[in-house]
Amino acid sequence: MPFRDIIGHRKLVALLSRSIARDSLPPSLILSGPAGIGKFMAALSTAQALNCLKPVRRQPDAVGTPELDACGVCAACARIARGVHPDILVLAPNDKGNIRLDPVREAIDAAGYRPFEGRRRVTVVDQADGLERSAQNALLKILEEPPSGSVFLLVTALPDLLLPTVRSRCPQLRFRPLGVADIAQVLIQRKQPEDVAYAVAALADGSIGRALEASASDLVEARDVAIRVLAQAAATDDVRRRMDSAKDLVVKGAGAASTERDQLAVYLRAMASLLRDVAAIGASADRRVLANPDLVPKLERLTAFAGDRGRGAFTAIDEALAALERYTNAKLVADWLVLQL
């Protein structure tokens, strides 16, 4: 995938492209950020731009057009896309989620040779937080003094799990969650109806990967549940009625407790998305920034959550999500939350 096809991340893409064009790309980089937002694709795009047989050069501009980009169609680009280019090595965790020492040693040995047919050898370590400690220590020397023809790209959603000695040797590019509009556009291109695409994108937490894996019907249902609970909270202070609405947030017959927690987390993210839109409507913001534009009539009936109450609800949702990550019982979290709204 050439740089131009990456969704979002314009500034980082432009930085990578400019560094390659001007031969100033650091030989070791960490690409960090939440899972499913395009870090790994950016790493492969970097490998393509470094080795493309017919690179495309453009004048840089304010909107982040890549200064140098891969053509995407030459033999080198095609082999990199298929994962069979002899100078591009991808290391990924095994079934246990680890990257062991032996494949890392092999990658280090290969990096010491001149590129076989490309201009640069590129080693991409996907989910680099899975590197065993011994494997990280083995990388230290080559990350500090890599051979002139080699580049190491460490891709991770959890950079703090890398050893400080690894992090200190690699500049870090921090990828941010994608905007709702960017994710929705991808889904619309894949034939999702626009209203469904925006509903799914609003709940994807900035991750295209999560949006593509999600069930659209489940996420649309999550919005319906979330808006129903918010409406009930806005309509009454009666504790009993509030507690009744909490039952909607816990999946009946979900089976494993982890499934209940995961489903409640989806409902909570839907609720947060709706509250953001309520705040935007209350501030008379441009309606184009709304994550749930198809729900405007219902959102306008939630004005009780404008201002301080809405901010308090956001805080409660964040605390509830944190509690779920600590494996707190989903029903307890749901009961507590509805009393805070």
In the numeric block, the tokens 């050893």 are attached to: 163
121-125, strands of its sheet edge to edge: 88-91, 121-125, 150-156, 28-32, 172-174
Spatial distance between the Cα atoms of 281 and 232, rounded to a whole number of angstroms: 20
**In the prediction, which pLDDT does 151 show?**
94
**In the prediction, which pLDDT does 214 show?**
67
For residues 224 and 335, membership in a common domain is answered with yes
Question: pLDDT tens digits, residue range 114-131?
Answer: 898 889 999 999 999 999
Beta-strand runs (E) in the chain: 28-32, 56-57, 68-69, 88-91, 121-125, 150-156, 172-174
Q: In angstroms, what CA-CA distances link 323 with 218, 260, 317?
A: 23, 13, 10
Question: pLDDT tens digits, residue range 292-318?
Answer: 877 888 888 898 898 889 999 989 999
Taking phi over 0 as left and psi of -120 to 50 as alpha, with beta for the rest, 33 belongs to: left
- How many folded domains does the chain comprise? 2
pLDDT confidence band for 252 (50 / 70 / 90): low
Taking phi over 0 as left and psi of -120 to 50 as alpha, with beta for the rest, 66 belongs to: beta
pTM, two decimal places:
0.72
Query: What residues does 208 pair with on adjacent strands?
Result: none
Residue 190 counted as domain residue: no
Residue 194 counted as domain residue: no
**Residues near 229 by beta carbon (within 8 Å), at least 6 away in sequence:** 245, 246, 248, 249, 267, 271, 338, 341
For residues 33 and 108, membership in a common domain is answered with yes
Q: What is the CA radius of gyration of the chain?
A: 23
State which amino acid sits at residue 325: E
Q: Which of 174, 190, 225 is the last residue of a domain?
A: 174
Q: Which of 174, 201, 234 is the last residue of a domain?
A: 174
Say which CATH number the domain at 132 has: 3.40.50.300
Residue 261 has pLDDT above 90, yes or no: no
Mean pLDDT of the chain: 88
The parent domain of residue 58 ranges over: 3-174
For residues 164 and 262, membership in a common domain is answered with no
Spatial distance between the Cα atoms of 36 and 269, rounded to a whole number of angstroms: 17
Residue 191 counted as domain residue: no
Question: pLDDT tens digits, residue range 200-251?
Answer: 887 777 888 878 776 666 777 888 899 999 998 988 888 888 888 888 888 6
Say which CATH number the domain at 303 has: 1.20.272
pLDDT confidence band for 258 (50 / 70 / 90): low
Residue 188 counted as domain residue: no
Reference 266, options 281, 280, 251; nearest CA is: 251
For residues 165 and 36, membership in a common domain is answered with yes
3-state secondary structure of 253: coil
Residue 330 counted as domain residue: yes
- What integer is the mean pLDDT of 101-119? 92
